[in-house]
Amino acid sequence: MWAGIKREGRGSDLGLLVSDEARPAAAVFTTNALNGAHIAVCREHLERSGGLVRAIVVNSGNANCATGERGIENARRTAAAVAERLGCPTEQVLPISTGAIGAHLPMDKILAALPELCEALSPDSAAEFARAIMTTDTHPKVESAEFGAGRATGIAKGAGMIHPDMATMLGFLLTDFAVPAAELPALTRRVVDRSFHRISIDGDTSPNDTVVLWSGGAAGSSGIEELATHLEEVAGRLCRQVAADGEGASRLMTIEVRGAASEAEAAKVGRVIATSPLVKTAVAGRDPNWGRILSAAGRAGVAIDVQKAKVWIGAERVYEDGDPYPEREQEAWRHLNENREVVLGIDLGVGDGRADVWTCDMTADYVRINADYRT
Amino acid sequence: MWAGIKREGRGSDLGLLVSDEARPAAAVFTTNALNGAHIAVCREHLERSGGLVRAIVVNSGNANCATGERGIENARRTAAAVAERLGCPTEQVLPISTGAIGAHLPMDKILAALPELCEALSPDSAAEFARAIMTTDTHPKVESAEFGAGRATGIAKGAGMIHPDMATMLGFLLTDFAVPAAELPALTRRVVDRSFHRISIDGDTSPNDTVVLWSGGAAGSSGIEELATHLEEVAGRLCRQVAADGEGASRLMTIEVRGAASEAEAAKVGRVIATSPLVKTAVAGRDPNWGRILSAAGRAGVAIDVQKAKVWIGAERVYEDGDPYPEREQEAWRHLNENREVVLGIDLGVGDGRADVWTCDMTADYVRINADYRT
């Protein structure tokens, strides 16, 4: 719903997820030293409730970050207002914020809107929730997979300030399978490491990043391995949606890194390539400028054998064994020009570590969106 | 002169510096694992000549990088052709390249042009040389200081792919004071650490970065301390020119970091802020979005006390002791809007380490320049 946190006409800004009863949840938060006010409150609530969550309330349009003690108090008041309506303890409500940094939440508007929000809940609220958490996203992001007697559903927002280790991203992974509270934190970490930590829009992490994994019970139990596999699949699809919807993006880029000394080094190189403005602007210009890919890999600080390395764009190996192949660039250009999802790959020539990282190209629109964000 | 490496009408692409006799020089090269072919050849020549240099020949328009053995051979041939004309050993000539990665040098054009280049030398060649090494620079960059009986002169190129630890930057520091060859490497490193390593355009280092410090003798000797001070001053001014001429830039940004645990941590935070696309696009939009400055500092991985931190834009402290001051943002906006040189500052609140880092804003033109670089 629109509570008036965003300007009128800019869309919904307050969303709510409610469970029939308090259910186990776990969360992963930003690694940024600056933390949105909700992070301290969420940690405190999860600890006091023993990881049981009844509701998650999210506002967009204001990050409630760099707002001091008053910001923390405002997050607590938001949770308390929802808890009162639902008749549950305050610590069973997680309040989460996303948006611009450095302004206090308009508490009068939020408190005035919450009663209607709590009334309006329906089984279809996931779609409405996905819309309410959007900032510069161009569309809501929901993914789902059914297996066994239940399902896994993911909802995310994020289109800028996105980088591994949690960026301006909110992700909600829901399953109606029961998971013991004790097993949830490790499961959450595992799923996030292989999904949300593999995307980057601009290398800027945000102070508010939060992913919550919330389990249910209606579908009974599931093997943890099977559940993890499905959650990773759903989270991976969400992440590709997030990368494809990067601010101003015209291309979803998959960076394939092969032949690294380890998976960790492969992921590191992938992130450096995925955050290189020169690589990202080249793709925006459909320029198969593989020299920038090789050069970005060269500054990643990991082992690379330049004489054995290979670089490919789509199916074309434009650099191989120390030599450029300019005659293959026409096909590489065609790959960049004709597909909305493109592949840039590099083999470092030193081992068998591999990882894929997702990002988007950097267009003049990225600059316009971020130059004018608060105006 | 124009040798035909760049397309016609895109300016001069071949430049030469010659000394009356072989003189001591030292160089600092890129830290990128990918190296332009000239770097191996320059290292080899400096070693074989005992650090004595008679000439430096630079081409723009082609980086001679990722070009394998043939690239190395082409750099050697260029040096040999100049040495033959000047009647000196080949190892006294440093061949240097800058431009696009991954194409072989057009040796026929270069070899055909060198005789005329060697003839055309005059005492004013520094200005012509500064023009010849330009790639996306909008103007040649020369700085000079006279002191004692002599002077220090700096010439640089670079407008993108620029980041500490040597970026697509070529820098030439010349002095007619005599410096013993044994003292030159340490002097070069010291000057570069306090100048070229403190600027960043986009965080992308280049495989070709090279700074050469070349001493003379006509002015006699100078104390090393005094010479270092003047060279740092000249190099610092060159660096601000480079940052101000960043691709598409409309603002020269000085990032002032104070209150860090050490100078090294201050410089690190400065570089993270200077490479944050969100900070740089905000300045392009004249948005005093200090939350992005604080957030970038928060992900730098250094000690920060968010409650004691301060952020300023121009003279306005827009964040102080945990609280935002939105009423000061109008003046901060005015600072960004009315000045071509702007200041963003942060005090981390944990010590007395300090450093200034220079960069430029990121505009839609940055994207256009880099999307269309090879077209």
The pLDDT of residue A206 is 66
The pLDDT of residue A374 is 60
The pLDDT of residue B72 is 96
Q: What percent of chain A has pLDDT over 90?
A: 43
Give B298's contacts (C-beta < 8 A, 6+ positions apart). A32, A33, A34, A205, A207, B304, B306
Please give the sequence-ordered ranges of beta strands (E in DSSP) within B232-287, or none if there are none. 252-260
Average confidence (pLDDT) over A7-35: 88
Output the CATH code of domain A14-244: 3.60.70.12
The pLDDT of residue A165 is 35
Q: Is some CB atom of chain B closer than 8 A to the CB atom of A295?
A: yes
Q: How far is CA A259 from the centre of its chain?
A: 27
Instruction: Count CB atoms within 10 A of the CB of residue B139.
Output: 12
pTM over 0.95: no
Whether A168 is catalytic is yes
CA distance B99 to B136: 9
Instruction: Count CB atoms within 10 A of the CB of residue B368.
Output: 18
When the pLDDT of each residue in chain A is averaged and rounded to a whole number, the result is 87
Higher pLDDT, A159 or B306: B306
The pLDDT of residue B78 is 98
Q: What percent of chain A has pLDDT over 70?
A: 94
Most confident of A225-239, A282-296, B173-187: A282-296
Among the ranges given (A49-58, A301-310, B205-214), the one the predictor scored with the smallest mean pLDDT: B205-214
The pLDDT of residue B163 is 43
The pLDDT of residue A161 is 53
Predicted confidence pLDDT, tens digits, chain B (375 residues): 899 998 888 889 999 999 989 999 998 888 788 888 999 999 999 999 999 999 999 999 898 988 889 999 999 999 999 999 999 999 999 999 988 888 899 999 999 999 999 988 777 678 889 999 988 788 888 888 888 888 888 898 876 554 433 335 788 888 888 888 888 888 888 888 777 777 765 555 567 778 889 888 887 888 888 888 888 888 888 888 888 887 788 999 999 999 999 988 998 899 899 988 889 999 999 999 898 899 889 888 899 998 899 999 999 999 998 888 989 999 999 999 999 999 999 999 999 999 888 889 988 888 887 777 665
Q: Is some CB atom of chain B closer than 8 A to the CB atom of A336?
A: no
Of B32, B102, B204, the CB nearest to A278: B204
Which alpha helices (DSSP H) does chain A contain, by range? 37-48, 68-86, 107-119, 125-132, 184-193, 224-244, 263-274, 277-284, 290-298, 329-338, 364-371
CA distance B266 to B303: 10
**Residue that the structure tokens 């050849």 belong to:** B41
Confirm if A70 and A109 have CB atoms less than 8 A apart.
no
Of B34, B103, B365, the CB nearest to A295: B34
pLDDT of A195 > 70? The answer is yes
Handedness of CA A321, A324, A330, A336 (dihedral sign): positive
- Most B-contacting residue of A287, A367, A374 (CB-CB within 10 A), to test interface: A367
pLDDT of A80 > 80? The answer is yes
Encoded tokens for A2 = 């629109």
| Residue closest to A224 by CA, chosen among A171, A172, A192, A178 | A178
User: Would you put residue B319 in left (φ > 0), alpha (ψ -120 to 50) or beta?
Assistant: beta
List residues of B with catalytic annotation.
Answer: 168
Average confidence (pLDDT) over A339-348: 96
What's the order of all strands across the beta sheet hosting B52-59? B93-97, B52-59, B14-29, B210-215, B170-175, B150-157, B141-147
The pLDDT of residue B33 is 82
* Domain B252-371, CATH homologous superfamily name and number: ArgJ beta chain, C-terminal domain (3.10.20.340)
Size of interface A-B (CB pairs under 8 A): 206
Higher pLDDT, A121 or B287: B287
Most confident of A161-165, A183-187, B285-289: B285-289
The pLDDT of residue B166 is 34
The pLDDT of residue A39 is 92
Which of A168, A188, A205, A359 does the annotation list as catalytic? A168
Which residue does chain B place closest to A371, by CA atoms?
Answer: B285
The pLDDT of residue A159 is 62
- Residues 200 through 229 of chain B touching chain A, CB cutoff 8 Å: 202-207
Among the ranges given (A149-153, A198-202, A210-214, B270-274), the one the predictor scored with the smallest mean pLDDT: A198-202
The residue extents of the domains of chain A are 14-244, 252-371
Could you say which DSSP state residue B178 is in?
A: B
Cβ-based contacts of A203 with chain B (< 8 Å): 203, 275-277
Cβ-based contacts of A281 with chain B (< 8 Å): 366-367, 370-371
The pLDDT of residue B79 is 97
The per-residue pLDDT for range B70-101, each reduced to its tens digit, is: 999 999 999 999 999 999 999 999 999 988 88
Confirm if A275 and A243 have CB atoms less than 8 A apart.
no
